[in-house]
Amino acid sequence: MSAPLARPSILSIEAYAPGESKVPGVNRIIKLSSNEGAFGPPPAAMQAFITTATELHRYPDGGSTKLRDAIGARFGLDPARIICGAGSDELLLHLIMAFGGEGTELVMSAHGFVMYDITGRYAGCQVIKVPERNLLADVDAMLAAVGPRTKLVCLANPNNPTGALLPRAEVQRLRAGLRDDVLLVLDAAYAEYVTDADYDAGATLVDAGTNTVMTRTFSKIFGMGGLRVGWAYLPANIADIVNRVRGPFNVNLPAQAAAVAALAEPGWVERSVAHNAEWRGKLGGALEAMGVKVWPSHGNFILADFATAERAKAADAALRGRGLIVRAMAAYDLPHCLRITIGTAEECQLVTDALQADAAWRAGGAV
């Protein structure tokens, strides 16, 4: 008997493991494993979602016109060069499939977002993971890793899961050092959370050439991961390619309506940024006071470094015992770390309390 065989490169892919949401035997679960935002969806987005119920028999606007106009107005960008997608993951997929392929290379940093690896292999690319320096993407090493077959360089800035931010000048230096025919994908899923003045999410480089793309999402600060809405800002030549291959109705009707409403919710981003900065600092400080290293983060999560995989596992178990689900980091080659989403004040406090109450994790393995 023989069965259909997928292309060999696909068998090298480990399926993406989403943040978990259940612990057997625990009633109250607090999910801090997917960076979903501390406040749930914006109320105006929920209302808009409900309002679309009577229109569900209609196909959505295939061009996401109102949403692109609203994004353009909000961020000062040309709507004609914005493309919306079913999450930014969908847009990353099209970019990597369209520009990668067998015989090409995709370059990313060693602890970069795992979807570049998965999608790159799907496209048939050889994925090159470049060592970082102190958990920060190393521009010189990335440029040195680029060869004649390199078609794509993918960089999350801020990076998930490390939280690291590459300053504006370093991103510019990366672009300047790449050949013009290499597509640079700047994934700015956490852009709204950044308070550092020395940051450009990518729009300047998109406008400056024909070969840089910025991706963004409604899944993080706008709390709409369940609806799947992301967007990209692209040079016209790259937008033309993605518009040829994307699904004609890729962003569904309630999602478009809710995202437009989310952008109009007064004070949502400001309140989220302020809460995040306050509790990222408080939670990080509490962990450091317990002897856990916390890597500097510019997103709505922290990377807690327990020094050994055994201690990280034991800490994870202590948290789980109280229904607190965080993200294990073995898939990112950081088995000694846990990534913890900044939740509400109470949720952050519960994380601290759990680790203070259960001393067992401290003994888990030698430090």
Ligand X SMILES: *Cc1c(COP(=O)(O)O)cnc(C)c1O
Q: Which stretch binds ligand X (CB under 6 A): 82-90, 129-137, 201-209, 269-277?
A: 82-90
- Does 64 bind ligand X (CB under 6 A)? Our answer is no
Q: Which stretch binds ligand X (CB under 6 A): 15-23, 86-94, 139-147, 352-360?
A: 86-94
CB of 308 to ligand X, least distance (A): 26
What's the rounded Cα separation, in Å, for the pair 169 and 198? 8
Of residues 37, 124, 163, 230, which one binds ligand X by CB under 6 A? 230
Nearest to 86 by CA among 224, 269, 202: 224
What's the rounded Cα separation, in Å, for the pair 154 and 123? 14
Nearest to 195 by CA among 165, 218, 223: 165
CB of 353 to ligand X, least distance (A): 27
What's the rounded Cα separation, in Å, for the pair 90 and 108? 18
- Does 113 bind ligand X (CB under 6 A)? Our answer is yes
What's the rounded Cα separation, in Å, for the pair 210 and 207? 8
CB of 22 to ligand X, least distance (A): 20
- Does 219 bind ligand X (CB under 6 A)? Our answer is yes
Q: Which stretch binds ligand X (CB under 6 A): 38-46, 73-81, 84-92, 247-255?
A: 84-92
- Does 120 bind ligand X (CB under 6 A)? Our answer is no
**Alpha carbon distances (Å) from 196 to 123, 135, 277:** 35, 18, 11
**Cβ burial 205-230 (10 Å sphere, 16+ → b, else e):** bbeeeebbbbbbbbbbbbbbbebbbb
Q: Which stretch binds ligand X (CB under 6 A): 20-28, 83-91, 128-136, 269-277?
A: 83-91
Which residue is at the shortest CB distance from ligand X? 87
What's the rounded Cα separation, in Å, for the pair 35 and 88? 15
User: Looking up tokens 């690319």, which residue turns up?
Assistant: 125
- Does 146 bind ligand X (CB under 6 A)? Our answer is no
What's the rounded Cα separation, in Å, for the pair 233 and 208? 12
- Does 157 bind ligand X (CB under 6 A)? Our answer is no
CB 340 within 8 A of CB 285: no
What's the rounded Cα separation, in Å, for the pair 42 and 268? 7
- Does 88 bind ligand X (CB under 6 A)? Our answer is yes
Of residues 108, 130, 156, 315, which one binds ligand X by CB under 6 A? 156
Of residues 211, 217, 256, 297, which one binds ligand X by CB under 6 A? 217
Q: Which stretch binds ligand X (CB under 6 A): 21-29, 85-93, 117-125, 177-185?
A: 85-93
Where does residue 118 rank: exposed (0-12), middle (13-18), buried (19+ CB within 10 A)? buried
x-marked contacts with ligand X along 176-215 as a string, rule CB under 6 A: -----------x-x--------------------------
What's the rounded Cα separation, in Å, for the pair 20 and 314? 17
**Residue 188 or 238 with smaller CB distance to ligand X:** 188
- Does 87 bind ligand X (CB under 6 A)? Our answer is yes
CB of 342 to ligand X, least distance (A): 14
- Does 347 bind ligand X (CB under 6 A)? Our answer is no
Q: Which residues of the shown chain bind ligand X in the complex (CB under 6 A)?
A: 87-89, 113, 156, 160, 187, 189, 217, 219, 225, 230
